[in-house]
Structures are given as C-alpha cells and as structure tokens.
Structure 1
Amino acid sequence: MNQFDWDQSFLVDFDKQTGRSKTASTTKRYLSNMKTVFADQEAAERILASEDPLIYEFYELGCPERAGDLLFGTTIIYPGKVGAEYFMTKGHFHTVLETAEVYYTLSGQGYMVMENPEGETREEPLTEGAALYVPRRFAHRTVNTGTEPLVLFFAFAADAGHDYGTIEEKGFHKMILDQGGKSIITDNPNW
C-alpha cells in the first residue's frame, strides 16, 4: 500500500468563510516576498517602511506530485492595495503547460487574470458561489477587489508543477487597478 491508499484519512476540513484548514499545510506570502510583483515599487517600499502585510496564503493537502492524483486546497487573498493595485497572488504558469485548473469562490470578490504564452489575455470576475475554469496553457493570478478576504477552492493535476519565474520577469499583460473606488482593467506598462 502506498501513502495515498484508501486506508488513510483524506478528509481536509476547510472552513468556508476563512479557507483555513487544521490538516493541510500552509504557505504565506507577505509584501516583502512580493514587492517586485507590484507595479508601483515606491508604494511598496513606503508600506514596507512601517509594516509587512500578509498579502495571501494557501492551504493544500501535500499530495505526491505524480500523474493521476489531484492537488487541491484553498487560497485566501486579503483585501488591500499597493498604490492603486489590489492585493493579488504572484501568478504562475504550470510547469506542465497543458494543465488546466478549477477554482470555486467560497467568499469574497475579485478577478482571475489569465494569459497564454502567445499573449492572449482573459480577465474573469470571481464571485461567491461561482466556479471558474482556467484553460490549459494559461498563466493565472487571483486579485481581491473587495473589502473582505477572497477565499477560493482550487484543484489541478498533482504533477503539474509551478513556474513563477516567467511571470516575475514582467508580470501579466493586464492589471486590475482601483480607480476612484471602481475596479478597472488596464495595460501593464512593463509590456
């Protein structure tokens, strides 16, 4: 028997409102881990001069990275902004580029920013109770445009891997900004 045969418990109890789990491992990303991801570097440095806010965290089961298994968990993106740019995840391609992913919004609101290697972009709203399919070959980033935590459930092939480096170079072609209290989609000046 391997470690993921049915004789073991695979129940992961995620709290619907907070997205937290007692049994899944957690990874936390603070502004100091992500300051180069935001377009307004001066605003990031001003914030870091007095605090290092938690931007997002995610919980996952820790499934082996092998074909045929699913990796799943929750992501929590906290409300806030760096300059006019909302708090967001780092964003990534999957190392196995042909991997799709599914997200289900448990609470909060925001956007999923997506693009493929050819530069095709999609920005889809995230609303409570709605599922979103991220197609194969699309990098993706979640953005919290609300005043409450954005909590998402996700699932994808466990052997997909993550490529954060490609996005870290220039970011996505599109950005979600606050303009006078409204969310707008705009071009990223780095492109």
Structure 2
Amino acid sequence: MLGSSPVLANVIDFSSGALSEVGEVLLRRVSDLVLLFGDKAAAEVLAEGDNPVVYQVFLPPEREPGRPEALLYATTVIYPGKVGDEYFMTKGHFHVEGECPEVYLGTAGRGMLLLMDRHGRAEAVPMQAGTVVYVPPETAHRTVNVGDAPFVFFAVWPEKAGHDYQSIAAHGFSHRILEEHGRPVMVSNPDWRQP
C-alpha cells in the first residue's frame, strides 16, 4: 500500500475475460434485452425458450469507493448469437457525466463497437484482439459480437462517469448491426427517436 491507496493487481484471462479477483459477475440474458432488439417477436421467442446468456461482465472488487477521480475497469464477454438478423450486443449507454471518455481493448474474438453522438450520427468500429478504441466524451457506445466465438474486451472509465442506460432504453441507437449476406453491416434503425 502506498499512502492510503491500495496497490492491487489482477490477472485477466484474455480468452475468457475472467479475472483472478472478481467482485461481481453480471449476467445479461435475452429476456433482459428484449426491448433493445429490432425483432422483438424473435427476442420474446428466445427469451421464453432457452433464454441464452447474451453477455457477462466481470468486475473486480471495489478498490477506492467514493473517489470520483478513480478509474474503474471490467471485462465483458459477448457470446455469439443473433436475434433474427441482429447480432448479440450489450445494452449500450451514455455516461451520466458526459465529459468522461472510456477506453476499450479487444482481447479475443471479433466484434464491433457502435458509437453514437447525441444527434444520432453513428460509426461502427471493427474490433478484434489487440484493437484499442477511445470512446470520446458525449458518445453512446454498444459492443456487438459479429463472430462465431465469444467476443471479449477490457474497458476502463472514470468512476464519476456513471452509466446512463435510460436514454438508450427510451430512444434506442440510431443504427443497428445486422448480418446481411454473411457479413455484419450497420443499418439505420427506424425505431430510433432523437431525444
């Protein structure tokens, strides 16, 4: 320990996303995401059936609670799968403190990071092991597995950032990542409503 801050290490299994020290594991199933998919009927059928895990997040033990300048990190694993033609994805979020950026590092599999500003302008950034993406301030972000193996990434963000999932739940993303002719493509979301 240096001063009052703990110096702690953690080991990431890059292929599985598992941490050597885990504080919490969050599981998100299709039933948790039904309203986010374009084909809600197909999502409901999956949710009422096997209700597969879409993704899980590994969070380390809390290190410096209550320090807004602290950095938080996690690993996320998005499993391969689709609802209709739409790939499995995370919920996606803005930051409550919009000026806060985030950094993503792909560690296994193939994915896309869907970025959207508050006006609905969007970009899809391909990711694989070794890809680092800087998520700018005031930018919503959602990760998508576009491969046939788990897509794993590591993320770091300021504790004060907070997660605004409500904006995405209410308005959606302006674009979706669908499979067309065996390839991932970014398409406009007709259900998106600008706040």
- Per-residue CA deviations over 1:123-163 (Å, capped at 9, x if unaligned) read 11112111011001001000000001000010010111000
Residue 3 of structure 1 deviates from its aligned partner by 11
TM-score, structure 1 as length reference: 0.93
Partners of 1:105 and 1:90 in 2: CA distance: 18
Where does 1:12-91 land on structure 2 (aligned, <5 Å)? 12-24=10-22, 25-61=24-60, 62-63=62-63, 64-91=65-92
Root mean square deviation, CA, Å: 1.8
Residue 66 of structure 1 deviates from its aligned partner by 2.5
CA contact (8 A) 1:92 1:139 kept: yes
Residue 73 of structure 1 deviates from its aligned partner by 1.4
SS in 2 for 1:32: helix
Residue 10 of structure 1 deviates from its aligned partner by 1.7
TM-score, structure 2 as length reference: 0.91
Residue 4 of structure 1 deviates from its aligned partner by 6.2
Q: For structure 1, which runs of at least 5 residues remain unmatched after alignment?
A: none
CA contact (8 A) 2:39 2:84 kept: yes
The residue type equivalent to 1:5 in the other structure is S
CA contact (8 A) 2:31 2:44 kept: no
Q: How many residues align?
A: 189
Partners of 2:9 and 2:146 in 1: CA distance: 31
Residue 67 of structure 1 deviates from its aligned partner by 2.0
Bigger shift: residues 47-56 or 145-154: 47-56
The residue type equivalent to 1:72 in the other structure is Y
